[in-house]
């Protein structure tokens, strides 16, 4: 996909988005109403800027983690009072590299975070381990997966990267761990870290 050089950012406490996941949002603040209107008349994309915990140094900006996901507005319903409800679907990991001045809402300069695979055999092995651990956790926490069948879920997700992102979105709750996963370029590293988290 063609990623723009800048994207609007909706800053939220302890909230983030992974590729392939969907985030329901309620837009009510005037600045984000304007952001949404601009996005709907443009590329229909924006990012979630996560605050909370140890946000790290620049260039993430004061209180904002430096990694996010470019999201696309899949559905949006406007209300009579000017508020809106929408579904933002994660598309691609990004890194905030700077901030544009002015305007009612933040606009970040961004670059894509690539995914690196050094050993496909090791990725496949780690993914099988992750699927087994995730299936145990999903059953233990009584989480119903889409379609109701875990095997079908893994097949529908397809790639090891999509499976890792699904597990991160649904089973990792700590914001610092989620942000670490968003910033990892190595797919092997993500899979190892996810397995470690589920074994804790």
Q: What is the pLDDT of residues 3-42, one digit of tens each?
A: 899 999 999 988 889 999 999 999 999 999 999 999 999 9
pLDDT at 55 over 60: no
How many CB atoms neighbour CB 106 within 10 A? 20
Q: How many domains does the chain have?
A: 2
pLDDT at 53 over 80: no
Per the domain annotation, does 133 fall within a domain?
yes
> Residue 18 — φ and ψ, nearest 5°?
-110, 155
- Intra-chain end-to-end CA distance of the chain, in Å: 36
Residues 107 and 149 in one domain: no
Residue 153 and residue 89 share a domain: no
Model confidence at 54, in pLDDT bands (50, 70, 90)? low
Are residue 17 and residue 95 in the same domain, yes or no? yes
Examine the domain organization and report whether 91 and 169 are in the same domain. Answer: no
User: For residue 60, what pLDDT is reported?
Assistant: 46
In the predicted model, is pLDDT for residue 57 greater than 70? Answer: no
The verdict on 128 and 105 lying in the same domain is no
* Structure confidence by residue, pLDDT tens digits, 70-120: 999 999 999 999 999 999 999 999 999 999 988 899 999 999 999 999 999
What range does the domain containing 97 cover? Answer: 6-112
Assign residue 94 the CATH number of its domain.
Answer: 2.30.130.40
| Listed residues 73, 88, 112: the one ending a domain | 112
* 40 in any annotated domain: yes
Q: Give the predicted TM-score (pTM) of the model.
A: 0.88
Place 138 in a pLDDT band, splitting at 50, 70 and 90. Answer: confident
Q: Is residue 131 part of a domain?
A: yes
Residue 46 falls inside a structural domain: yes
In a shared domain, residues 157 and 90: no
The reply to whether 12 and 103 lie within a common domain is: yes
pLDDT of residue 52: 67
């Amino acid at each position: 996909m063609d990623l723009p050089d800048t994207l609007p950012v909706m800053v939220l406490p302890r909230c983030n988005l992974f590729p392939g996941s969907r985030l329901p949002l309620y837009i009510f603040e005037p600045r984000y109403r304007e952001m949404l209107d601009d996005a709907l008349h443009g590329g229909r994309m924006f990012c979630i800027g996560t605050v909370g915990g140890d946000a790290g140094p620049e260039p993430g900006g004061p209180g904002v983690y430096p990694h996010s996901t470019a999201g696309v507005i899949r559905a949006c319903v406007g209300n009579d009072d000017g508020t809106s409800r929408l579904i933002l679907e994660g598309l691609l990991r990004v890194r905030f590299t700077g901030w544009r001045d002015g305007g009612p809402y933040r606009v970040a300069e961004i670059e894509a975070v690539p995914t690196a695979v050094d050993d496909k055999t090791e990725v496949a092995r780690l993914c099988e381990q992750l699927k087994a651990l995730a299936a145990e956790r999903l059953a233990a926490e009584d989480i119903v997966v889409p379609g109701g069948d875990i095997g079908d879920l893994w097949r529908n997700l397809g790639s090891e990267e999509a499976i890792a992102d699904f597990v991160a979105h649904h089973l990792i709750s700590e914001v610092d761990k989620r942000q670490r996963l968003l910033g990892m370029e190595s797919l092997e590293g993500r899979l190892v870290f996810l397995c470690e988290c589920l074994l804790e």
